[in-house]
A and B are shown apart, each in its own frame.
Chain A
Amino acid sequence: MELTDNPDGLAAVVTARNLALHRKLGAERHRLRQLSEADAHVRDELGSGVLSSETAAALRLAQLPTSRLSSSLQREIQAGRWSLDDTRRTTSPSPELSAAFSETSAMWQQALATATAALDSSASETALLLDEHEHDFTRMTGGEQQVMSSFALPHKTYVGAARTGKSTAVPRWLGLLEVLPEKPWGRLPWTDLSDRNLVFLPDEQNLYYWDAVSAVQSIVADQMSRSAPNGLKITWVDGMHQGQSAGVFLRLAENGPRVLDGQVWTEPSSIEAALRRVANRVGQIQQSCLKDELPDLDSYNDRPGVPVEAHHVVVVTGYPHGFQQASATLLQQISEQSYRTGVSVLVVMHPMMASIAPTAGSAVSYYATMEDGAIPKSAPEWCTFSVLPRGEPVVGRAGQPHARVFPHEENVAVWMPYSPRNLEKADQEAILLGYVRASAQLVATGLSPRELAVRNLDPEERTTALRKAMLMWLHEQSGRADGPRWEEFLTSDAVHVTGTTFTADEIGRQAKYFHEQGLVFGAPGSESPMPVLTPTGEDLSMRKDVNAADFAALSGTRPGDTYNTIFRDSVTVSQVTVGRDNTVTQHQHAAAGFEELATAMRHVSELLPRIGLSAPDAEDAAEHVSDVIAETTAAEPDPGRIRRALRGLRTFLQPVADQAVSGVGEGAHELAKEALGHLQQFVS
């Protein structure tokens, strides 16, 4: 693809050309200025028969041939009639020398006139050369030959509903770059794939703080307008104005708390906790999704049959207000790792931080370059360049925001005028509402109701989806030291993201099917053998395009190892045992009077895996849940045992709810609170 086929490439090419033309023009202008400044002095000296080093330098700059004058002067010096020491020149120049001076003076005036004409010509030529790009520019911003898809152009309503299913890269409209401000057509869209970090540096003179906040709001709204339902998460930090910077996005706290990670974070401790959740998610995406195989999140999401991971926007306003060293370090780490993981960091610095990026002039008058900055003395002690968030600096200059462009085949970036999109509040609300509504209708995967209906009704589709999910889940668990259990699959994200609900009976049947088809075997001789993929199963689990026909093609059974597992279905608390005879049975409803506790424990058992406790804690917590359930289904439940188990369970949940432990999963704080809520009436 040609560089000029996309806005970024075109901006780089035209900026480089503009710089080159202006450098040439600047050199000519500078030369003419020097000649003009020297003109009076040169004429005076040449007219008086004097040649000082300043005049000689001007003659060299004008590239005049001075051999005749030099020869004449040398002869005069040898004859003792001329000297470099101006106090010793007493005699008038000889006729030959006078003629040489006159000739040089005439050439000087001619050279000055030629340089003036050349500069005018170069200026006209520069304008004409830049006009060659008009067609390319207009193709980027509209018209019949529009290059960018209409989907990528700015919208005032939510248009991402069409992007159900896979969440590929989301184009994001950051604003307009004024690459050639003197041309009426000289603007280009500044876009990205929702993967760029921006750091606004308002100075309250050329770029106002609230204008920068407004630009960030518009960028987030723009990304949201194209995001697939549930394809965008937002973490908003405002330690300076108590959440005011979030504008209409504050409504997400009520209407879409999952989108906004609960609320806008304003206090130092909650800011750190929120950023730690983002950092954990970044780590999980890198370790679980990207590994060392995929370049970025969009590549992962493009793979068939994998759960879709949402993009994430982290907005920070008023930095470093509300930040401490730990939270600043977290933000810096997130910003460094954001590119691969679909996380975009948008920062609006406090105006005092403008000193970290002072600008200077460039070859083109309306471009700027960046100079070395300094951390303001009023910044916190921990605030050094090493902990600042990484991103594209947007700075104020000449009364306007300026954004960075790397000119093609040049090493030094330039900043050029940038017009952020200023989306009206009503439009932001419309986008927000559309996104929340669309997301509310969908499961976490973003599957449409139609797709869900098909999957729920079509037995083949449904069974294939379940088998694929089970195989993939088992493949992902292969590295676990404690070995996987099918009961964990039931409560895992893997079953959740298939977009439908499966009963324990279905899972049991498929577990049996895998065993019979030689895709899975357990450890022989063990009382509770763990399911392990056979080489055939391993191969199948890694295939992207496995379908019903692939499963049908499998033949033969592999009777052999027996395995036991326990499931809890999603309707009532019952136990499903896959016994040694490979039969699945459900039994043991809750005892009378313990139905509510049984239901609560079902909810808690669903929440536990999502809280992200450490492996030993998760195992102990699950054991407590199993103990309670065992008692609720016993003929004579033991209240003491139930009480002890519940208290034991609470010791794992309470620290997470209080945010007293680190390293737990995304949203763990809220999930733990929810789980404790279920237990509340049963624990004194």
Chain B
Amino acid sequence: MPLFRRDQPQAASPPPPPQLPDNTDSPFLNVLSRELNAVLPKEKIVEIRSQLTATREAAPEQDRLRAFLALDWLTHAWLGRWCAVLARDEQFAAALPSLPPIRDLHTAGQTGDLVHILRHNEITAADHLAQNYRDDNFYDMATVSAARQASSSAPAKAAGSAFADAAASTLLDECLAARADRALSAVRTLSFMYCLDEVWKHMTTWAAGPGSFDVKKLNINNLAPAAAWYALQPVTGQLLDDAARLYLDLHRMR
């Protein structure tokens, strides 16, 4: 029998991750909090939580106002930032500020008309893909796959989906009139095109490096998605900071 028995340490349950409150009286804030919890870094959530004050009972009018502000930010600031940073549709980014802020179905429709124009990028992307990337070429397909993977989650990881859903939970018709869903898919397309170019820069280096093709394949399959996501990080980082600030503002609204 051992003289000194070492007690078996009890397995401590990990502390629950910090969360933004999603059980308030505001359905809007609940949806937004729930979705931001999935995309914001823990330290950012902690920082936000430290600044939150107790919410009072939410009035429907207040939630509507919050939803309008969220929709306006999504279609003007968020979408505009993507267009400007990804250096595509500069004209669209320049035209956005001239639109009136979204305050009703009519102004939402005006924004939606402009957002709808971005649909041409989908055709452009498809053409670009068909002309420049061959299905039977590994390097081409690895680039496309990485770009698609990164761009597919870009709207959500940049908090766009969170604000879109939060706004739609209160103002669905206005969100659809402003084509918030198309704003998300437009960013997906723009970031896909951007990622293609960014990943291909590395792909040529990887392809020319030493080693067998199998090794190269293994490395590329690991490195390409990371490179794609890394390319988008400057934008998503900025937008998450903006989203955090806006969340606080919306939360503080009385």
Contact = CB atoms under 8 A, between A and B. Distances in A.
Q: Do A and B bind each other?
A: yes
B85 interface: no
Interface string B128-154: 000000000000000000000000110
Given A53-B177, A87-B152, A88-B156, A73 B165 contact: no
A78 B31 contact: yes
Contacts of B112: 53, 57
Contacts of B156: 85, 87-88
Given A53-B179, A86-B185, A78 B161 contact: no
B177 A84 contact: no
B30 A84 contact: no
B161 A51 contact: no
Chain A contact residues: helix, strand, loop or mixed: helix
A85 B183 CA distance: 10
Contacts of A78: 27, 30-31, 169
Contact of B172 (A57, A70, A85, A88): A70
A77 interface: yes
Interface string B165-176: 100111011011
Nearest to A69: B172
Contacts of A56: 173, 176-177
A85 B30 contact: no
A73 B172 contact: yes
A661 B72 CA distance: 76
A622 to B, nearest CB: 77
A73 B172 CA distance: 8
Contacts of B152: 87
B165 A77 contact: yes
Interface in A44-91: 51-53, 56-57, 60, 66, 70, 73-74, 77-78, 80, 83-88
Nearest to A70: B172
B172 A74 contact: yes
Contacts of A87: 152-153, 155-156, 188
A52 B31 contact: no
A261 to B, nearest CB: 61
Contacts of B165: 77, 83-85
B161 A70 contact: no
A52 B180 CA distance: 9
Interface in A75-122: 77-78, 80, 83-88
B182 interface: yes
B89 interface: no
B184 interface: yes
B173 A84 contact: no
Contacts of A74: 168-170, 172
Contacts of B182: 52-53
Contact of B34 (A53, A60, A80, A88): A80
Interface in A196-249: none
Nearest to A85: B161
B197 interface: no
A628 B66 CA distance: 108
Interface in A639-681: none
A80 to B, nearest CB: 6
Contacts of B168: 73-74, 77, 84
B242 interface: no
Interface string B33-58: 01000000000000000000000000
Interface residues of B, number: 30
A85 B169 contact: no
Interface string A14-39: 00000000000000000000000000
A156 B170 CA distance: 79
A429 B52 CA distance: 100
A78 B25 CA distance: 12
Nearest to B119: A54
B31 to A, nearest CB: 6
B171 to A, nearest CB: 9
Nearest to B28: A78
Contacts of A85: 155-156, 160-161, 164-165, 181, 184
A74 B179 CA distance: 16
A85 B160 CA distance: 9
A53 B181 contact: yes
A73 B171 CA distance: 11
B161 A88 contact: yes
Interface in A115-172: none
A96 to B, nearest CB: 15
A51 B176 contact: yes
Contacts of A70: 172-173
A84 B180 CA distance: 7
A561 B30 CA distance: 116
Contacts of B180: 53, 84
A83 B182 CA distance: 13
Contacts of B153: 87
Nearest to A56: B176
B117 to A, nearest CB: 13
A86 B30 contact: no
Contacts of A57: 112, 176-177
Contact of A84 (B116, B164, B188): B164
A87 B188 CA distance: 10
A625 to B, nearest CB: 80
A376 B176 CA distance: 49
Contacts of B175: 84
Nearest to B27: A78
B192 to A, nearest CB: 12
A57 B188 CA distance: 22
Contacts of A88: 156, 161
Contacts of A73: 168, 172
B121 to A, nearest CB: 16
A78 B67 CA distance: 13
Contact of A52 (B155, B160, B181): B181
B164 to A, nearest CB: 4
Nearest to B180: A84
A77 B155 contact: no
A84 B155 CA distance: 11
A54 to B, nearest CB: 8
Nearest to B155: A85
B222 to A, nearest CB: 23
Contacts of B176: 51-53, 56-57
A104 B28 CA distance: 26
Contacts of A52: 176, 181-182
A429 B129 CA distance: 74
Nearest to A73: B172
A84 B177 CA distance: 12
Contacts of B172: 70, 73-74, 77
A66 B176 CA distance: 12
Interface in B172-226: 172-173, 175-182, 184-185, 188
B161 A83 contact: yes
B112, B161, B178 — most chain A CB neighbours (10 Å): B161
B66 to A, nearest CB: 14
A56, A77, A85 — most chain B CB neighbours (10 Å): A85
Given A51-B176, A70-B172, A83-B165, 11 more contacts: A52-B181, A53-B112, A53-B177, A57-B112, A74-B170, A77-B169, A80-B31, A83-B161, A84-B161, A85-B164, A87-B153
5 smallest A-B Cβ distances: which pairs? A56-B176, A85-B161, A53-B179, A77-B169, A84-B164
28 contacts: A53-B116, A53-B176, A53-B178, A56-B173, A56-B177, A57-B176, A57-B177, A66-B173, A70-B172, A74-B168, A74-B170, A77-B165, A77-B168, A78-B169, A83-B161, A84-B161, A84-B164, A84-B168, A84-B184, A85-B156, A85-B165, A85-B181, A85-B184, A87-B153, A87-B156, A87-B188, A88-B156, A88-B161
